[in-house]
Amino acid sequence: MSESTRLPLFIQISELLRREISAGYWLPGERLPTEAELAKKLGVAVGTLRKALNELEQNGLLERIQGSGTYVKNTPDNSAVYHFFRLELKSGGGLPNADFLSVEQHTNTYVASLLGLESNAQLWRFRRLRKLDQQPAAMEEIWISGEHKDDIAQDDLVESLYVYYREKLGFWISKVQDSITVDHVPDWKHQDFKPEIGSACGYIERLSWSNRDRIEEVSFTWYDPVNVRYAARWT
């Protein structure tokens, strides 16, 4: 994926901090490390971190107290880019990134049935290598109806498909249902994904509903169970 399609670095950092707050690494009322300490930990410039903190403060997640520091104010809501992303490193959290491997039109009887379409309906299929802190974490296969757009070029896509859906296709994901089990690594896996083709790994089948109250996306995810876990937390 080209750098132009990546989310801006300060947004990546703000999303990482959202995930860590959501995961309970920092609790409401807790003070964050100083900007210098946090920037060093995250490997970014203080200016970039400050923009990320401003973003979270504007969204009501953080509170800055002059002379005291920056405090967690609230837990994230579903406005976060990665609100529905449930994979994390076993060492904790991890900033999501994704590299597109292919963008193609296909038919798939099973997926079409889930989307409520005719069995021979044209569908868009996206295949991606998902990373956490730049470590290969999962293989993703994502399907949407071909009715949304006649032509989708890989260079047109942004790193977050949810952002692309909202800004380019006119819908957004409002809820998801995950079914988690074990499956075998597919034969199209990327060479950087550690589990071997055919070996057992974690597997997620996801149905995603849009603001139109219909299933708009079907996805299949194979993840590395040695380094990655599925985590869902509620308060």
User: Which residues fall within 8 angstroms of residue 166, CB to CB, at 6 or more apart?
Assistant: 172
Coil, strand, or helix at residue 106?
strand
In a domain, 184, yes or no: yes
In this prediction, residue 234 has a pLDDT band, given cuts at 50, 70 and 90, of low
CA distance 173 to 79: 10
Number of structural domains found in the chain: 2
Largest distance between two CA atoms of the chain: 63
- Convert the pLDDT of each residue in 47-65 to its tens digit: 999 999 998 998 888 988 8
Q: Minimal CA–CA distance to 56: which of 68, 38, 43? A: 38
- Residue range 221-228: average pLDDT? 96
Q: Quote the CA–CA distance of 16 and 82 in Å, as a whole number.
A: 9
Residues 55 and 140 in one domain: no
**Is pLDDT at 77 greater than 60 in this prediction?**
no
Q: Has residue 79 been placed in a domain?
A: no
**DSSP state letter for 165:** I
The answer to whether 215 and 116 have CB atoms below 8 angstroms apart is: yes
Enclosing domain of residue 64: 9-72
| One domain, residues 134 and 202 | yes
Per-residue pLDDT of 123-168, as tens digits, reads 999 999 999 988 999 999 999 999 999 999 988 888 788 888 988 9
Residues 46 and 127 in one domain: no
Q: What is the mean pLDDT of residues 19-43?
A: 84
Average pLDDT (68-85) is 73
Percent of the chain with pLDDT over 70: 92
Shared domain for 161 and 226, answered yes or no, is: yes
Residue 3 lies in a domain: no
Do 150 and 46 lie in one domain? The reply is: no
Residue 2 lies in a domain: no
Same domain, 44 and 93: no
Looking at the structure, tell me whether residues 126 and 226 fall in a common domain.
Answer: yes
Write out the two tokens for 51: 């923009």
pLDDT of the residue at 112: 98
Among the residue ranges 85-99, 105-119, 136-150, 177-191, the one predicted with the least confidence is 85-99
1 lies in a domain?
Answer: no
- On whether both 172 and 91 belong to a single domain, the answer is yes
Confidence of residue 212 (pLDDT cuts 50, 70, 90): confident
Mean pLDDT of 193-213: 95
Q: The domain that contains 91 carries what CATH number?
A: 3.40.1410.10
Q: Is residue 81 part of a domain?
A: no
Query: Quick one: 94 and 47 in the same domain?
Result: no
Same structural domain, 67 and 102:
no
Residue 4: inside a domain, yes or no? no
Are 96 and 60 part of one and the same domain?
no
- pLDDT band at residue 84 using 50, 70 and 90 as cut-offs: confident
Same domain for 199 and 129, yes or no, is yes
CATH number at residue 46: 1.10.10.10
